[in-house]
Amino acid sequence: MSTTTLKLKKREERRIRAGHSWIFSNEIDTKETPLKGLTAGEVVNIEGANGQSLGSAYVNPASLISARLFSRKSNTQLNQALLSKRIQQALALREQLYPTPHYRLVYGDSDFLPGLVIDRFNDVFVVQSTTAGIDKVLEDIKAVLVELFEPDAIILRNDSGARDLEQLERYTKVIHGDMPDELEVEEFGLRFRIATTDSQKTGWFYDQQDNRRRLNRYVTGKRVLDVFSYAGGWGIHAAHYGAKEVVCVDASQSALDAVEHNAKLNKVDSFVSTIKGDAFDVLKHLRNKEEKFDVVILDPPAFIKRKKDIESGTLAYERLNKAGLQLLNDGGILVSCSCSHHLGADKLQRAILKAAQRTQLQLQILETGEQGPDHPVHPAIPETRYLKGFYCRVLKSS
């Protein structure tokens, strides 16, 4: 059976030739080639308006992003052989970077497998598909992982909101082995355990590994506040690096239970305490009590998930940073992060600066951070760069 060809409108191929892999529905010449008649996940060839081949993609006529290129060669099938090649290519990088098998193994477009995320927890693999094209080859992905790693378990976490954009069902299930009670992470000599059934996203925020490690030069002998702590990634690192006290704040009791468990696991429980509540409410409460900290860490979930949220989300970042700044001692350190793709590093920096101005404080940016190398950035796909963070020294105005 021959492969269907989709032709792009005139001049719409420039972004694809520059290296991007997403094709939007309004870029396809539907007068010349079909789109609506295709099946979600079907593999097609992509051509420019002049007939020049641009590569192979899978489609979803029901999605705004109607096609995603997975190869620059035409007539390429997204099959087990190609998946194995790409996953082994991704594995080679991670094995070079990390001493233990705890990392993001596959990061979508950046590893040339758009729509696919795989996180590795030693012998347990958590797979997340956000597209119809990847859904069609999940059995092949399972076969590749079993062949390469002989894992104890493979868990499908197909519960991302991104699936809604492709009109795909959300669900979680085990597709190989047995569901473990916990996922275990090793990170620079520290160990963390997360309940499998109550974890966020794929279970662990591997993207912040290197940024958490940077705490070692700022926290020794200090009082630290970790806001949006989840299972204690930042806070446990701070305690391990010699903080005299760490307070972890999260709205989820199960997350705080994990903090306490992980503090004991790493023998720092005498330095770590928790507060349950909405972050903004807790920060206000701490200010009213005239509490002060030497280091405040703000690592919230994305406040801006869609372009229409940019204005309100930016204001939320300003409010959050203002509240954090008000709790810092003179000369203290603010660690402020954002995982909102729509908020660039320059805009986050501006939000932090506005917050400082409103509290009559001065800032010195000491370090900047972004996602770790197991989340490589595709230079032609700006959407693959999403995490940004600032380590700031905070001083009273003089």
- Residues with catalytic function: 339
Quote the Cα angle for 237-240-241, to 5°.
Answer: 85
Q: Which two tokens stand for residue 265?
A: 């696991």
Mapping DSSP onto H, E and C, the string for 74-105 reads: CCCCCCHHHHHHHHHHHHHHHHHHCCCCEEEE
Count of Cβ atoms closer than 10 Å to residue 398 Cβ: 4
Mapping DSSP onto H, E and C, the string for 170-214 reads: CEEEEEEECCCCEEEEEECCEEEEEEHHHCCCCCCCHHHHHHHHH
* Segment holding 106, helix H or strand E: strand 102-107
d(CA 354, CA 312): 15
- Compute the half-sphere exposure of residue 23: CA atoms within 13 Å on the CB side of its CA: 33
Q: Which two tokens stand for residue 224?
A: 């630290």
CB contact at 8 A, 263 and 236: yes
Quote the Cα angle for 306-156-168, to 5°.
Answer: 50
d(CA 243, CA 295): 10
- Which residues have a Cβ under 8 Å from the Cβ of 37 and sit 6 or more positions away? 61
d(CA 156, CA 166): 17
Q: Select from 223, 231, 227 the least CA-distant residue to 205.
A: 231
Q: Left (φ > 0), alpha (ψ -120 to 50) or beta: where does 237 sit?
A: alpha
Q: Which two tokens stand for residue 95?
A: 């094995």
d(CA 30, CA 90): 35
